[in-house]
Chain A
Amino acid sequence: MDNSVPPPREDKIFLYSLLPFASVIIAALILLGIILLDTSLPALKEYGIGLFMRNVWKPREDGPGEYGLLAPIIGTLETAIIAVIIALPMSLSLLILTEEMMPNKWRDLVSTLIDVMAGLPTILYGLWGIEVLIPFLRDHFMSFLHEKIGFIPLLSCQPLSGSSILAAGMLLSIMIIPFIYVIIRESYSTIPQSLVEAAIAYSSGWRHYVKFKIGLIKPALLGGLLLGFGRAAGETVAVALVIGNSFHLSSCIFAPGYTISSLIANQFANSMYYPLMSSVLFAGGLFLLSTGLALNYAGVKLIRRSRKLCQAV
């Protein structure tokens, strides 16, 4: 805070004794950036920007081999976009249901359950994805859509095993719905009473009233989606279980794919046998770090702006 009062002199010692703890965590972030940059430098030097623009994966034990991360990058974006598109209406519906329609007792129960969901180990979702989601999607959803409206490029390929971009996106959406819900609920439930009353007073119906309030937290909603996107892009193990792990580059979401995180998890153990592979994987990590930082920064800013907006009155 800019207007915080400086502590009296005798408390300064205490203050300084806390500093190492704060600096360790900041230093960790800076070091992380430096190390990622340093380790990915050989790959960046060898392949240049093409590392992120080409789709090729030809490791060689006796030479640099050929690498390009385009397929995992596209896969990361595709799965995260699918996840956010599904999560937006779902988390909004949940929000309206719990905040505006449920009696207090039920609201607390459901809200708490969702809070708990947001913190579960993600591998559990992955197991569920393999056991339930993939067979279901394959047998009842993908083939049906492919037969009926397969002329749309997104749905144009024959679904095979069920492991696919779509499966990963859907699984991710289930993981980020609680996350986004918690963020927007925080903003929604702290809309000042005076604005809530104004919204009631000038709405012509309950639906308008809810729309009013959602309009008020729009920046936070957008911020929540960005943070959700960042989280979806970084999720690793569960995705690795259901995405099919293939460098296949396709516009079809029924096809298997890769994401940067699942690529790193899958290939890291092998990478010591190939000269440049680990550097390539670190470059993937660098990509994740920079996009993650940008997305999270924007998301957090937007959520703050939403809070400020409501406090202005």
Chain B
Amino acid sequence: MNTTPAPLTAPNWAKLGVIFGFVGALSILLWGPIGVSGTYPRLIGEFFRAFDPSYAETNPYLVRMGSLLRPETFLVLGLVIGGFLGARRDVEKAPKVEMPHVVATSDARRYTEAFLAGFLILFGARLAGGCTSGLIISGMTQLSIAGFVFAAGVFATGIGTAKLMQALRAGN
């Protein structure tokens, strides 16, 4: 039975948090609050504008979210670069497939879970109007009520699901 590896806590999480706080404030000063999940429907919008323009023009959500040509899209591209640059500072490479629950499963099952999880986080984020960055970080930074409500919901089922997965896997 595999168990999770020793904690991978970054010892400097507090310093990194302070820097991230200033980065978020700088973003609001320069162009607007950070946010990631809105880029997904803008990508879907570009797809429909290319292959089914009449649908793109009549779907009110795609019309409202608009084009990919805006700072948030470049922010998402920056995330890939930042992740790549950050990983270069690690001696050990990030695992290709990581088993997040206490007991490991097959790679195929992990991919299936990651896909299903991706579906849920984006569906939930688009329903709420933002994700961890746009609603929790930027929302609470700006003292928006929506940010606090969303965070409460995320951690309620997030903690519940994590504990449930642990109990289910331990039972097998």
> Does B bind A?
no
Which positions in B face A, CB cutoff 8 Å? none
Which positions in A face B, CB cutoff 8 Å? none
